[in-house]
Amino acid sequence: MTQIERYILKRMASLTFWSLIAVTLLVMTTQVLIRVDVLTTTGQAFGAFMLLAATVIPSVLSVVAPFALLIGVAQVLSGMNSDSELVVVEAAGARPATVLRPVLLLSVAVSIMVLLVANFVEPWSNRKLYDVLAQAQSDLFSVAVRSGTFMKLEDGLYVQVNEKLPGGALGGIFLSDIRTEGTEAIYYAKNGVIRQSPDSDILLLIDGELQQRDTSNGQISIVTFSSYALDMAAFVPAGQAAVRRPKEQTTGYLLNPPEDDYYVREIPSALKEELVQRFSTWLYPLAFGLIAFTFLGKARSNRHEQFQNGALVAGIALSARGLGFYTVEKAGVSSAMEMLAYAVPAALIVLFGALALSGRALTMPKAWARLNERLVEAIIARFQRWNRSADGGQSA
């Protein structure tokens, strides 16, 4: 690697790293605030809050890493063009690969990081996350006993407990679960008790009934039970192999799950959706790096054109990632969407990779550029007229 390539790679890696830190902290804060009400309501210690924040980081990294790379690569290339560094590099006779090689190295490194995080680190952190929330939800039952009102455990899941019985037992438990689309489940038990197990806490309902309603046709099924166990980490029926959500399972487990797994029997689409998520997300950093290079990797004499190209890069990246989120969400129920989830980033890599290797650079069409300039000029003129009229009104 030449000195100029090391210089470009160092700048891109530094800016990508700090962008990743900043965006991760921002998104992590929003995710923690969504769940912090459970910790504060139950009086959890500050250590539990910090553990919750730490366990959210891996899942956030997988989402924001492609955009952090896009910011790093696009900003460095734009800065080099503004400072005429790209002009000097091209005038010195350097080939386009001189700028492309650092972009590829950084993009591949970020893609590998996302792949490892999504398949190894994220499942482990999700298990820790739900363990923290399960402990908080166990304590929330005590709050529900004191308040005697409905308590929200998470979106679509509510609980009410009438009284606390001797020996730590609970009396009159009412649990409403509408998290699964198309199904409403209501649990009622005369008594209940929370028991700890090596894997998670279990809510054991005693002498009650389960009412399930299919919202599509209104049919109701009622099951009477003498005892019924719910895993408090996910509030699904607890069993020997049914205590973990797909996001918490290892990739090996998802590829070959046991037949008695709750999600295999009840929601098989969730397993496929999670696998598609893990094996498609890592392609986006490489795709975004190639997109940024194709539009911004050549010297431009018109700085306004460089800004327009940057906006076009952001638009393509956001549109592609939005389509990726949609296809992954629908991959569990549609084979076409499953294939499209992989095809979207793969097509971007092939298309913009071929353009980058050929040395061709794309730019915004001149007609679009002129239309954009007229639009910006009209907005500025309208704003100036509004300022003058406002100043005239104040003087009067």
Of the candidates 251, 310, 318, the one whose C-alpha atom is nearest the C-alpha of residue 278 is 251
Same domain, 102 and 24: yes
The answer to whether 348 and 287 are in contact (CB under 8 A) is yes
Which neighbouring-strand residues pair with 222? 211
Strands 220-231 and 236-237: antiparallel
Does some domain include residue 375? no
Same domain, 152 and 37: no
pLDDT at 395: 55
Does some domain include residue 95? yes
Phi-psi region of 335 (alpha: psi -120 to 50; beta: other; left: phi over 0): alpha
Same domain, 10 and 96: yes
Does some domain include residue 389? no
Same domain, 7 and 126: yes
State how far the Cα of 325 lies from the Cα of 328, in Å rounded to an integer. Answer: 5
Tokens, residue 226:
């003498």
State how far the Cα of 385 lies from the Cα of 396, in Å rounded to an integer. Answer: 17
Same domain, 59 and 127: yes
pLDDT at 370: 62
Does some domain include residue 202? yes
User: Cβ–Cβ contacts within 10 Å for residue 333, how many?
Assistant: 12
Same domain, 112 and 19: yes
Does some domain include residue 252? no
The answer to whether 297 and 77 are in contact (CB under 8 A) is yes
Same domain, 289 and 192: no
Does some domain include residue 387? no
Element (H, E) at 189: strand 183-196
The answer to whether 293 and 356 are in contact (CB under 8 A) is yes
State how far the Cα of 249 lies from the Cα of 278, in Å rounded to an integer. Answer: 12
Burial class (CB in 10 A: 0-12, 13-18, 19+), 101: middle
pLDDT at 73: 96
Same domain, 114 and 19: yes
Element (H, E) at 109: helix 97-116
Of the candidates 117, 173, 180, the one whose C-alpha atom is nearest the C-alpha of residue 154 is 180
For 168, the domain range is: 148-232
Same domain, 87 and 206: no
Same domain, 21 and 114: yes
pLDDT along the chain (396 residues), means of 10: 91 95 84 62 58 82 94 93 88 86 96 96 86 63 59 78 78 86 88 76 87 87 90 58 74 90 84 94 97 89 72 92 94 92 96 89 64 69 74 57
* 193 φ/ψ angles, rounded to the nearest 5 degrees: -150, 145
Does some domain include residue 26? yes
Same domain, 104 and 156: no
Of the candidates 309, 294, 293, 299, the one whose C-alpha atom is nearest the C-alpha of residue 366 is 309
From the CA atom positions of the chain, what is the Rg in Å?
27
State how far the Cα of 19 lies from the Cα of 47, in Å rounded to an integer. Answer: 27
Of the candidates 245, 247, 244, 175, the one whose C-alpha atom is nearest the C-alpha of residue 204 is 175
Of the candidates 137, 126, 396, the one whose C-alpha atom is nearest the C-alpha of residue 274 is 126
How many domains does the chain divide into? Answer: 2
pTM, full prediction:
0.74
Eight-state DSSP code of residue 249: S
Block residue for tokens 């969730």:
270
Same domain, 126 and 194: no
Does some domain include residue 394? no
